[in-house]
Structure 1
């Protein structure tokens, strides 16, 4: 598949190619945060904490909405005093009862898995937080006595485009009510002032990655060109950035149609490094004397994409492989990649609150996946093969 580099520097051509307005939808992330925070506050999301901390929190999300659960577990951390359990579908764990909280997330409010889990949780007397479109079956469950239902923020210029009807384009509308619920329960620190900082960071990223910005100064366009023609290996430097890696791999597959694998350090260092000696690596580096016209075209090569937390964060001091700090493991993996001929791209978060740093990594890779799709002649919002699969499954 060829990549049209020139398209990325032509704002008008990009707008014409982006028929589903994916880039515009990504640019509304900050607005989604603000509107969703207002909706959640008006809905009384803090009422989920009136009976105190639950014994456990079950997050029910599926498909493009599953990143909501990834982000919550990353922010809560392994030391969270309340277990956070992720379920994509049924059955609801047998132990869930009146002492627990179930948060069900679905943009349409009709996803079978989250809907069934929420309905069963309500039947057992558990608290239920619904995060779904108003008037949907899931919203009906969340509106019952003792539960809380938050409608989905639409953001500015809502025009029912294909991009805005997908959970990939509505990430922040779905995530913010969950973050406010978790803050009320004292599981994460994401109060309204932090969400304001989050919205501002997303606005800054949208400005830096705007379509009118030329590729050599636009970090998302640069990343898209670096990933073109490669098989990306998305590697996070810790638990927090692992949520961004999961989102990046999903967006590359669903948006740019590029299969990507992901991992997180320090646990996955050996598996990633082992792949540098495989058929998709370039042992000894690229052949600079290869003739692109006479020689056979080179196949896709691995590209290491490192997602790194801001310098000076606690990940620096955590022990990694062989007891070394995680940052030392990151550097060792990057050096091994260079020696094996595997090129590396990096996205490094700027300082800020954990959710703000995570959001910057997500936004950058979201834009990069969209630009890669458009430069490859692909509609980033619609996949005929996914539609075909859904029709086959009824």
Structure 2
């Protein structure tokens, strides 16, 4: 059950947030700065590639890693092909990745994981070595994957994990003496940025996209700005994340996006809604979303029982499925945008509509703005839901 009254009581929110989700969301900017510092210390600025890779191949393990790889592909679209490898296997730790048959010395392999214990990723490094592919991994230091990459003279960039004592971010001691068994930190709301930031630094060095150090620090500043607008102390009526969380209560979100970066943000939103708040959502990019989700809007289940039927059995009736469209845009309506058609379809079916449009111009800042807002919204849904807390 979602307790909307919690949103207006910062102290009650803090008490309900037993997993520290809001604190982690607010610290996203700090997480970017820490990850960038660790990547620089690992030598990312010393990378001197011989031209742009023919293809960037990405293998990611874990929901945050997959989302970070998805956003990298969206940001780098058009400069060179980016191919995500799909793993096979019954579990994450038992998954296997296979390089495509054409992979060779002209290609770059990026490996992404907050754990670094996946044998399938370690085996993939060996495949890359045999093919002559350069391997770069974002993984915890001292993890088996980091050691495997070092053995083939690749580059292992540190994943800025939560420290074992809960104080700040850094290398942590997961793989030191007496460390706990490795596992993806389910309540680490900043893990996404700790994985994406080193990827962006590498992508800038190899010419996949433009993400110089100054731009990445600007991303951190943008995340801080969104945290200031969406923090627990800001009232719901001026807080876009709290407003969105309240609007999504008891609704099935249809996440419609306009643009590659917004599309990746929508998929990330669906992931955190499921993982943090235990809420389902459906994603689609415009204009295909209009056709893909049209039957849902027109279905008889949308409104449930007729609210004008005075004699209906209110005890026995089950609530109908309530839809809400969330429109994510990289900017306000542009020429050729499908957003007006999306609004028209929503209104014609009496489907409530929430809109999120970035105010930034740079793609990195757009990504930061959209991702920070949806992360906060998912966290508010999680914290204010009695089943979660």
TM-score when scaled to structure 2?
0.86
CA, structure 1 residues 210+360, in 2 after alignment: closer, same or farther (shift >3 Å)? same
Name the CA distance, whole Å, in 2 between partners of 1:290 and 1:42: 69
Name the CA distance, whole Å, in 2 between partners of 1:7 and 1:278: 34
Aligned residue number for residue 188 of structure 1: 209
1:85 equivalent in alignment to 2:106: no
State whether residues 330 and 357 of structure 2, in contact with CA within 8 Å, keep that contact through their aligned partners in structure 1: yes
Aligned residue number for residue 237 of structure 1: 258
CA, structure 1 residues 206+286, in 2 after alignment: closer, same or farther (shift >3 Å)? farther
TM-fit CA distance, 1:215: 1.8
Aligned residue number for residue 259 of structure 1: 280
1:226 equivalent in alignment to 2:229: no
CA, structure 1 residues 334+286, in 2 after alignment: closer, same or farther (shift >3 Å)? farther
Name the CA distance, whole Å, in 2 between partners of 1:124 and 1:167: 35
Aligned residue number for residue 91 of structure 2: none
1:39 equivalent in alignment to 2:38: yes
TM-fit CA distance, 1:291: 9.7
Aligned residue number for residue 282 of structure 1: 303
TM-fit CA distance, 1:119: 3.3
Aligned residue number for residue 389 of structure 1: none
TM-fit CA distance, 1:164: 5.4
TM-fit CA distance, 1:292: 11
Aligned residue number for residue 70 of structure 1: 70
Name the CA distance, whole Å, in 2 between partners of 1:207 and 1:372: 18
Aligned residue number for residue 98 of structure 1: 105
Deviations 1:92-119 (A, max 9, x none): 2122222211010000112344333233
Partner SS, residue 380 of structure 2: helix
State whether residues 28 and 155 of structure 1, in contact with CA within 8 Å, keep that contact through their aligned partners in structure 2: no
Partner SS, residue 327 of structure 2: strand
* Bigger shift: residues 102-111 or 273-282: 273-282
Name the CA distance, whole Å, in 2 between partners of 1:291 and 1:18: 42
1:197 equivalent in alignment to 2:218: yes
> May I ask how many residue pairs the two structures share in their alignment?
364
Aligned residue number for residue 331 of structure 2: 310
State whether residues 20 and 163 of structure 1, in contact with CA within 8 Å, keep that contact through their aligned partners in structure 2: no
TM-fit CA distance, 1:50: 2.5
Name the CA distance, whole Å, in 2 between partners of 1:247 and 1:182: 20
* Bigger shift: residues 28-37 or 371-380: 371-380
CA, structure 1 residues 174+305, in 2 after alignment: closer, same or farther (shift >3 Å)? same
TM-fit CA distance, 1:36: 1.1
TM-fit CA distance, 1:143: 2.1
CA, structure 1 residues 291+261, in 2 after alignment: closer, same or farther (shift >3 Å)? farther
Deviations 1:9-45 (A, max 9, x none): 2222212221110111111110111111111122122
Aligned residue number for residue 360 of structure 1: 369
Name the CA distance, whole Å, in 2 between partners of 1:291 and 1:45: 70
The answer to which structure has the higher helix fraction is 1
Gap runs ≥5 in structure 1:
318-324, 381-394
TM-fit CA distance, 1:153: 1.7
Aligned residue number for residue 139 of structure 1: 146
CA, structure 1 residues 292+3, in 2 after alignment: closer, same or farther (shift >3 Å)? farther
CA, structure 1 residues 249+291, in 2 after alignment: closer, same or farther (shift >3 Å)? farther
Deviations 1:119-148 (A, max 9, x none): 321343211101000110111123235311
Name the CA distance, whole Å, in 2 between partners of 1:354 and 1:257: 29
State whether residues 230 and 303 of structure 1, in contact with CA within 8 Å, keep that contact through their aligned partners in structure 2: yes
TM-fit CA distance, 1:303: 0.7
Aligned residue number for residue 320 of structure 1: none
TM-score when scaled to structure 1?
0.85
CA, structure 1 residues 115+88, in 2 after alignment: closer, same or farther (shift >3 Å)? farther
Gap runs ≥5 in structure 2:
88-96, 173-182
Deviations 1:198-237 (A, max 9, x none): 1111001111111122222221111000000001110101
Name the CA distance, whole Å, in 2 between partners of 1:49 and 1:274: 52
Aligned residue number for residue 122 of structure 2: 115
